[in-house]
A and B are shown apart, each in its own frame.
Chain A
């Protein structure tokens, strides 16, 4: 039976509140997670940059140490030449020497030098005298390269005043060999050289930093060694690197494009490690991706959880509100709508209806009910009313509004929908309902012995025939009820303005 057919304002408010609650919670959760995520991204970026800088700087320092160690070892091998006295005392430029003795001495020196460097990949390890005469292991490549300036230009490579030695690369644009020259005496120098390609082992790059490019350059940034297979020694490093390195001798430089580290070796060459920033910081986007993914998941979970909890809460509240509404709208004794609710609901239905709709309003008044209360007591009377409620529940359908509008008065609003197949009319339908009600009342008697008979009188008014609004319809039904009461009770009457003219409502 219809009791709360329309959405009530309280429910609409509750729905709005629920939506605001979920929306607000979602916004707060998303904003919080977004803030935390941004902080995490920023912090992780800083930490990653610091770690990368530290790691790459360590690599550069390690490469520099490798180079210094390698060159130091070669210097030690050069110093070993001094173990043979003839090597640093013999002077091929001296005049008046016996040629055979000179050749024998040179042969000894040569044999000694060969022994000392026997296990090394040295290109040159020999003595050059001021007259350009070479003794020992002097390669054709070196002799060709320096020509008749062999002693002079090699001697010019000595730059260290304390140890009387020096390193050089790029003589006449030839960067294939690296030279170390040490003075033996004023007319003799020891020359040691290696292929620049030997530095591959010195600058062997760990697998984890395989994208790092490693360069050894002279002070003009010309390549002595490059880890790039296709780079040509002797050519300058790229301008984008040299521009960044200008004026730096030991530094780490990072910008959006490159990360570059430079250190200066003991022989004043630059050890440079360079890598595009996007490669070395490739983990950054990965980390950021994880953070964003986690944030999105967390936000979704938070919103989902909030929605579920809100829905749960709203169901509980809705149940409570529904229960309260039921208590407020329903007559507790009969289970029917109470007077206010019936009148509000029926008025809104009738007053808000479209023109073609047909309704009937029935007003029922229990006959002789006062006698029940007086004879059998109010408690028993309440039981009778409760039973009447159940009776009306069985007679009327769920689409029809039934309410208790007085102590023993009831009202019913029923809607008639014409059915062309069955024919009939609103009046015949109402008549049938009235007969059914009267019949149902005949079916039960009250009292301990069942000898106290009750019945009902019914007044019916049709919409829009007997009234264009609820008030008019109610008045018409009330007149009809009064008429039924006055004409014998236990009957029903349709409002008839002609027949009932002069009936006075009490």
Chain B
């Protein structure tokens, strides 16, 4: 066979073997999708959980390189979980935090990530310096507020009208209304533990003419002042102004057993959406006061909640991206609406204005807060769970005659002092 023919045959064979040769024992390496995983924690009711999860999905769609693992539950128990997480350095990368946690977990300002180190991603220009000051500890920006919040008094005007009652403005108005309503086993007001504690704190400050803490943050209340609170609680229970704290059920608002409630601005939709949907009218009342002309005295405001980043985060860039999305994006603004109150981010507020979402009971409560002069900034000790538990225990001691009001007040005073120590 000629050399040329041999070469031709060899070329043909080589061509035929080529596809076979490519798969014989060859190592195949295919890349897997790599995602940066960050964690995000918050507390809230069903609605908040649903829209926050939806927001997270939108964020992940925008940034497919980031996976967000969520940890959430209702408020009950969340604070204790946060305590464990913070102590064990297993907290989420991005956290919804309560205002009083800044003092608890970051007394010197280093307990959370310095958010001003993330301004290449996080647009802080959307927030006024006054607003940001709520998130500063020792000059370090630990958290950014979402909206402002205060305990607010709401009444079901439909029920009040049925009984020919006006919207209560004073403590006496409450007792007068209770006298009418109790015959039908209806309470004029109701509230959860912390709300009743802050309600009675306002009462005591108004009656005693002094604030809970002095301007330096030292306890100004004496056992006598606490005794005023305990006795008022007992009186309100006895005269069926409010139900016992332990028996408060939010769903009784829906059933009409509660004609009013004291609750955070951020809880307005959660508490009243069902009755509003049923066609009943809910009004935001002036902050209850001994003197309606000074409504707002003894009531405290704070950021509804804030977003912070873990000081231990290994993904500060991705955490900042999520934070920017939660605070300033149109997607999150429209999903969240005024559920946490009117957002303090200028961008988010503008999106809501454009979408005509600045309305409803929660917006009205925010407007009441903004227009009321004299609301002081809440102190972390006022939201301390140990203090509140001690208050409830002392209330029950008085209520069930396990201790004299003065004795229980002394116990409560001591508990507050110990907590502040």
What residues of chain A have their CB less than 8 Å away from a CB belonging to chain B? 99-100, 103, 106-107, 114-115, 117-123, 137, 139-141, 143-144, 147, 176, 195, 197, 201, 207, 229, 290, 294, 297-298, 301, 304-305, 308, 312
When distances are taken between beta carbons in the complex, the residues of chain B under 8 Å from A298 are 16
When distances are taken between beta carbons in the complex, the residues of chain A under 8 Å from B28 are none
Q: Which residue of B lies closest to A207 (CB)?
A: B33
Q: A118-B81, A143-B249, A144-B274 are in contact. Are A99 and B400 (CB under 8 A)?
A: yes
When distances are taken between beta carbons in the complex, the residues of chain A under 8 Å from B62 are none
Given A100-B402, A139-B76, A305-B12, 16 more pairs with CB closer than 8 A: A99-B400, A114-B77, A114-B80, A115-B80, A117-B77, A120-B73, A122-B73, A123-B73, A139-B74, A143-B250, A144-B251, A144-B274, A304-B12, A305-B8, A305-B9, A308-B8
Q: Kindly identify, within residues 387 to 407 of chain B, every residue whose CB is under 8 Å from any CB belonging to chain A.
A: 396, 399-400, 402
Contact B32 A118 (CB under 8 A): no
Contact A119 B84 (CB under 8 A): yes
Q: Mark B76-92, 1 if CB is under 8 A from A, else 0.
A: 11001100100000000
B57 located at the interface, meaning its Cβ lies under 8 Å from any Cβ of chain A in the complex: yes
Q: Kindly identify, within residues 357 to 414 of chain B, every residue whose CB is under 8 Å from any CB belonging to chain A.
A: 396, 399-400, 402
When distances are taken between beta carbons in the complex, the residues of chain A under 8 Å from B400 are 99-100
Q: Which residue of B lies closest to A293 (CB)?
A: B19
6 contacts between A and B (CB under 8 A): A106-B246, A123-B73, A137-B77, A140-B270, A144-B254, A176-B50
Q: Which residue of B lies closest to A116 (CB)?
A: B77
Q: How far is the CA of A176 from the CA of B46 in the complex (A)?
A: 9
Shortest Cβ distance from residue A83 to the other chain B in the assembled complex, whole angstroms: 17
> How would you classify the secondary structure of chain A's contact residues: helix, strand, loop or mixed?
helix
Q: How far is the CA of A114 from the CA of B385 in the complex (A)?
A: 14
B45 located at the interface, meaning its Cβ lies under 8 Å from any Cβ of chain A in the complex: yes
B315 located at the interface, meaning its Cβ lies under 8 Å from any Cβ of chain A in the complex: no
Contact B84 A297 (CB under 8 A): no
Shortest Cβ distance from residue B74 to the other chain A in the assembled complex, whole angstroms: 5
Contact A140 B250 (CB under 8 A): yes
Q: A117-B77, A123-B73 are in contact. Are A103 and B396 (CB under 8 A)?
A: yes
Q: A103-B246, A121-B71 are in contact. Are A141 and B84 (CB under 8 A)?
A: no
Contact B19 A141 (CB under 8 A): no
Q: Mark B241-268, 1 if CB is under 8 A from A, else 0.
A: 0000010011100100000000000000
Q: How far is the CA of A147 from the CA of B12 in the complex (A)?
A: 82
B170 located at the interface, meaning its Cβ lies under 8 Å from any Cβ of chain A in the complex: no
Q: How far is the CA of A305 from the CA of B1 in the complex (A)?
A: 14
When distances are taken between beta carbons in the complex, the residues of chain B under 8 Å from A229 are 57
Contact B33 A118 (CB under 8 A): no
When distances are taken between beta carbons in the complex, the residues of chain B under 8 Å from A123 are 73-74
Contact A297 B77 (CB under 8 A): no
Q: Kindly identify, within residues 1 to 15 of chain B, every residue whose CB is under 8 Å from any CB belonging to chain A.
A: 5, 8-9, 12, 15
Shortest Cβ distance from residue A106 to the other chain B in the assembled complex, whole angstroms: 7
When distances are taken between beta carbons in the complex, the residues of chain A under 8 Å from B250 are 140, 143-144
Shortest Cβ distance from residue B200 to the other chain A in the assembled complex, whole angstroms: 19
What residues of chain B have their CB less than 8 Å away from a CB belonging to chain A? 5, 8-9, 12, 15-16, 19, 32-33, 45-46, 49-50, 53, 57, 69, 71-74, 76-77, 80-81, 84, 246, 249-251, 254, 270, 274, 396, 399-400, 402
Q: A114-B80, A118-B84, A305-B9 are in contact. Are A141 and B15 (CB under 8 A)?
A: no
When distances are taken between beta carbons in the complex, the residues of chain A under 8 Å from B84 are 118-119
When distances are taken between beta carbons in the complex, the residues of chain B under 8 Å from A117 are 77
Q: How far is the CA of A123 from the CA of B74 in the complex (A)?
A: 7
Contact A147 B251 (CB under 8 A): yes
When distances are taken between beta carbons in the complex, the residues of chain A under 8 Å from B53 are 197
Q: How far is the CA of A144 from the CA of B270 in the complex (A)?
A: 12
Q: How far is the CA of A123 from the CA of B16 in the complex (A)?
A: 65
When distances are taken between beta carbons in the complex, the residues of chain A under 8 Å from B45 are 139-141
Contact B16 A119 (CB under 8 A): no
Shortest Cβ distance from residue A122 to the other chain B in the assembled complex, whole angstroms: 7
When distances are taken between beta carbons in the complex, the residues of chain A under 8 Å from B249 are 140, 143
Q: A121-B73, A140-B45 are in contact. Are A100 and B396 (CB under 8 A)?
A: yes
Q: How far is the CA of A147 from the CA of B249 in the complex (A)?
A: 11
Q: How far is the CA of A305 from the CA of B418 in the complex (A)?
A: 99
Q: How far is the CA of A312 from the CA of B53 in the complex (A)?
A: 76
Q: Which residue of B lies closest to A132 (CB)?
A: B249
When distances are taken between beta carbons in the complex, the residues of chain A under 8 Å from B15 are 297, 301
Q: How far is the CA of A140 from the CA of B76 in the complex (A)?
A: 11
Contact pick for B76, options A114, A201, A304, A305, CB 8 Å: A114
Q: How far is the CA of A294 from the CA of B50 in the complex (A)?
A: 54
Contact B254 A195 (CB under 8 A): no
Q: Which residue of B lies closest to A304 (CB)?
A: B12
When distances are taken between beta carbons in the complex, the residues of chain B under 8 Å from A141 are 45-46
Contact A118 B72 (CB under 8 A): no
Most buried by A among B9, B53, B249: B249
When distances are taken between beta carbons in the complex, the residues of chain A under 8 Å from B33 are 207
Q: Which residue of A lies closest to B2 (CB)?
A: A312
When distances are taken between beta carbons in the complex, the residues of chain A under 8 Å from B254 are 144
Q: Closest 3 A-B residue pairs measured CB to CB?
A: A100-B400, A140-B250, A114-B77
Q: Which residue of B lies closest to A113 (CB)?
A: B77
When distances are taken between beta carbons in the complex, the residues of chain A under 8 Å from B50 are 176
Q: How far is the CA of A118 from the CA of B85 in the complex (A)?
A: 10
Q: How far is the CA of A119 from the CA of B57 in the complex (A)?
A: 23
Shortest Cβ distance from residue A81 to the other chain B in the assembled complex, whole angstroms: 14
Shortest Cβ distance from residue A250 to the other chain B in the assembled complex, whole angstroms: 31
When distances are taken between beta carbons in the complex, the residues of chain A under 8 Å from B81 are 118-119
Most buried by A among B53, B74, B254, B396: B74
When distances are taken between beta carbons in the complex, the residues of chain B under 8 Å from A119 are 81, 84
Shortest Cβ distance from residue A141 to the other chain B in the assembled complex, whole angstroms: 5
When distances are taken between beta carbons in the complex, the residues of chain B under 8 Å from A106 are 246
Contact A121 B72 (CB under 8 A): yes
When distances are taken between beta carbons in the complex, the residues of chain B under 8 Å from A122 are 73
